Structure 1
Amino acid sequence: GDSLSISGNKKFAFNGEIADYFIVLCNIGKELGFVVIEKDNQGISIGKPINTVGLRGNKSVPVSFYSCNVPKTNLIGLPENTHKIINSIQESSWLGISAISTGVMESALSQAVKYSNERKQFSKPISSFEAIQSKLANISTDIEISLAMLEKVSRLKDQDEDILRQSAMTKISTTEMAQRNTKQALLVHGGYGYIKDYPIEKTVRDAETLKSICDSNDDLRLIVSKPFIN
């Protein structure tokens, strides 16, 4: 016929609460394909936003599809190209998460610098102490490493190169640096870092979440190590 019937569930639909359209990967006969489904389709049921540890502005929701009738004109691309599209989406999403992770580190550094220059002990700012300076230097160094990785791999993406492994490496590195460095920035704040009045606690929670979304880092390590396996 001229239409498809789509059924299934998606537990985490990023920005699903505010989306007008859903792009769904589904089985079409013996092939995989992407289908655009409008939010007002009668077969869609959208749940309440999920209360996550970090990235709460994302508004992730569970979405269920019950025999959604969709015209075949809503198919994106040809089924035989689906795996190429999936790889391209993964590359872009991993680079996107890497960019967010870098921004999270920049925010953490800015907060740590501000606090350490304002907070005084023994009549001088704690930024004058070597232990604090070491933390700030480490965060700053990792930011530059992240930016360099992002620039290199993004350039290859623009040149239409296959960057699945490189983008996986970048996501692993930047998200784990973000997790490590936001915690260092929190330590600069001392006990105040655990108080919600200071935004660093939110920054730490966001960094913690980045490792697990758009494929976990453990899964990505399997992609990175694949060429080394006989």
Structure 2
Amino acid sequence: MNFEFTSEQSQLRRTIREFALAEIAPHVLEWDETQTFPAEVVRKLGELGCLGAIFPEEYGGAGLTYIDYALIIEELARVDPSVALIVAAHNSLCTNHIYLAGSDEQKRRYLPRLTSGEWLGCWSLTEPDAGSDAGGTRTRATPDGDGWLLEGSKTFCTNAHNAQVCVAMAVTDRLAAHHGISAFIVDAGTPGFRAGKKENKLGMRASDTGEVIFSGCRVPAGQLLGKAGEGLVDSLRILDGGRISIAALSIGCAQGAYDAALKYSKQRKQFGRFISEFQAIQHKLVDMATEIDAARLLTLRAAAMKDQGRRVTRESAMAKLFASEMAVRACNEAVQIHGGYGFIKDYPVEKFYRDVKLCTIGEGTSEIQRLVIARQLLQNQ
């Protein structure tokens, strides 16, 4: 068991950190205030290989491991969680669904453009009345000649207004329940397909979250992704990997908040002493640092197992659950250490505090993670 990063992984981490500090950090406050999607930075991340991180070189990907990918997401989130979320949704959800379930023709057609960053992807599972209960999907796809007709809408779709490709789930057989939901690839510009309302969010405001709407949207038969009726089953496999990225994103949020709190504690004086000298502050910093390390180890375990081709349903859910809830605690303590200044937008902890809450909700709430873990524990008894 080796707890050291390779020299290549350490260099990757430095490269992403330097990029984030140079290209992202100067704009974080502006993007957040104006809800500006950082298109130019996303393009540059594509050039760096970050939008094809976990995919083979034969499809234009960077051929990196899930450990490498976790490092990328963490370092981006350490500066701006919004950017990390854009990259995570593109890699883990849309592109990975096509990679894992797509036909050879679909992979050849879509993956090179997605992995290079020429195209951005979005993934649509959630609906207004089908959140944690994805089996309650109402968007439907009915046979229409040699294709399918999609009707319905999706919500909380990351990259909705900026994606060139959408992978969406729709009911193809209502009587088959969870095995009656299929996945489809829908290109932007397809008649009857459009992005709807853009959400005005608490945090992650530079990340584009919105509706996608299907109204008389006809797609060819070849746009069915995977087997008919297996879209939801494949989605659960996709989420196993996606939760690793959300765990890494959570760690990045917590690390960024911790870094800011540690720095502030060494500069802020009260009662004639730096507040870092007070035991109450030291204990907060100790708890934050310890829990960040624990979450990172859980996440790297899941990533390492994923790289070995092993099933990670339990491990990725544990990592996501612990890391996201830890990050909320860490960001809360970072604000507390800053006192009144933690409530001011001039200090980064205010934004981390708003951003981090999504980590306990996206790609399965904490309650769903506990349900997933419980099932895995009980099945193995």
Q: Report 1:31-180 matches (<5 A).
A: 31-79=180-228, 82-180=231-329
Q: Are 2:351 and 1:202 aligned?
A: yes
Aligned AA (2:150): I
Q: Are 2:162 and 1:18 aligned?
A: yes
Q: What is the alpha-carbon distance in structure 1 between the residues aligned to residue 226 and residue 370 of structure 2?
A: 29
Shift of 1:172: 0.9
Contact 2:192 2:215 in 1 (8 A): yes
Shift of 1:116: 0.9
Q: Secondary structure at the match of 2:197?
A: coil
Q: What is the alpha-carbon distance in structure 2 between the residues aligned to residue 186 and residue 205 of structure 1?
A: 11
Q: What is the alpha-carbon distance in structure 2 between the residues aligned to residue 13 and residue 112 of structure 1?
A: 32
Shift of 1:37: 0.5
Aligned to 2:150: 6
> Which gives a bigger RCO, structure 1 or 2 (Cα 8 Å, sep 6+)?
1
State the identity %. Answer: 32
Q: What is the alpha-carbon distance in structure 2 between the residues aligned to residue 137 and residue 178 of structure 1?
A: 14
RMSD: 1.8
Q: What is the alpha-carbon distance in structure 2 between the residues aligned to residue 73 and residue 93 of structure 1?
A: 25
Q: Counting strand residues as a fraction of each chain, which structure ranks higher?
A: 1
Gaps of 5+ in 2: 1-144
Q: Are 2:362 and 1:223 aligned?
A: no
TM-score, with structure 2 as normaliser: 0.57
Aligned AA (2:224): L
What count of residue pairs does the alignment treat as equivalent? Answer: 230
Aligned AA (1:228): L
**Which range moves more in the overlay, 26-35 or 166-175?**
26-35
Aligned AA (1:147): R
Q: Report 1:185-200 matches (<5 A).
A: 185-200=334-349
Gaps of 5+ in 1: none
Q: What is the alpha-carbon distance in structure 1 between the residues aligned to residue 171 and residue 244 of structure 2?
A: 27
